[in-house]
Amino acid sequence: MQAILALEDGRIFRGRGDGAPGERSGEVVFNTALTGYQEILTDPSYAGQIVILTYPHIGNYGTNGLDSESVRPYAEGLVVRELSQLASNWRSTEDTSAFLAQFGVPVISEIDTRALVRHLRKHGAMRGVISTTDLNEQNLIAKAKSSPSMVGLDLASRVTTASRYEWTDPSAKLWDSGLGTSDSGSDRPVPSLESRTPHFHVVAYDYGIKQNILRRLVDIGSRVTIVPAATPAHDVLDLKPDGVFLSNGPGDPEPVEYAAKAVRQLAGRVPVFGICLGHQIVGLALGGRTYKLKFGHHGGNHPVMDLETGKVEITSQNHGFAVDPDSLKSSEVILTHRNLNDDTLEGLRHRTLPLFSVQYHPEASPGPHDAGYLFDRFAKMMTEFSGEKGA
């Protein structure tokens, strides 16, 4: 099956078609992670985007029912140098092409992904079309130009849950499902599945939330209630949460004004922790501005410095917008983390209110676990706030 990737500036890449036959458009971005392609493709933050994976050999360990971050792939399409036709892993239940085909996601492979990534680094992320049906280059370029721009696009409202629900599975559930055993020969300890009464009730706003975030919230002793993105603050407070979590998600944060309004009403009344899009919403709620990055941060190897300790964390990232630090009031906000690649703002906290956020993904999946302590920080904040209320 032949396939074409056409960019809005007229650049054309011809290759082999895999996955689902058809045509999909979106913003073309690249991710530098070496593993975790299933987690990446099922991350709702990739809604509206075609993902290039810079690692040249993708699909070799197949897919399985445990590694997805949501119920389906959200990426519009996948671009790789080589898509393995053989899945060699004892956990694999389906090869990558078949997995994507059942959800209508097209793949283009056997193209020069290095040339494509260099093009995007020079000119910035841009709209594109993958097609296995229409192979007319000029038609596809015109379709790319007419597809929606990511700027001004509220995608959180499209990917959010339709109704409220509960989540109870911890990270240990994955191990209990066959990911590891005590005699596996690994030095990594197997988490305990002993049940314990949750200490906290966390309400999580779903702007495109990943399942591993929910597991990590359970890991710190939380009963988690997930609510739709546009849930008013008073409805959240009626649930009597010990803390509110603001999730990751796709699209431009500025059109998600309903979320910033809710955060302004929640700030000071309950501890708040935001990541990724949630971090950008916190910035907007505190009177800041956001802007679009040239080609975004997507990968599992981004160095971030904690400005309060001087420690450097290697982080997992996936975002195309950032908060402008100069737009925040220094009298109210402390800038806590900075990206060492381009100096963009990666974290903040309020000086007096129980509210903090980071731009990157402390839950990893895929990626390093350097920033996992942030969930413990959220638990400590909830404990301290509860003690202050009791006093």
Catalytic residues: 276, 361, 363
Closest CA to 150 of 26, 260, 42, 296: 26
Q: 351, exposed or middle or buried, with CB in 10 Å at 0-12, 13-18, 19+?
A: exposed
State the pairing for strand pair 77-79/49-53.
parallel
Helices (H), ranges, the chain: 37-41, 96-101, 113-123, 137-146, 156-159, 172-174, 211-219, 233-238, 257-266, 277-285, 373-390
Q: Is the peptide bond before 366 cis (omega within 30 degrees of 0)?
A: yes
SS3 content of the chain, % helix, strand, coil (to 5): 25, 30, 40
The full length of the chain comes to 391
DSSP 336-351: EEEETTT--EEEEEES
Contacting residues for 197 by C-beta, under 8 A, at least 6 apart: none
Q: Which helix (H) or strand (E) holds 306?
A: strand 290-306
318 - beta bridge partners? 298
Which amino acid type is present at position 226? I
Residue 117, both tokens: 């990534």
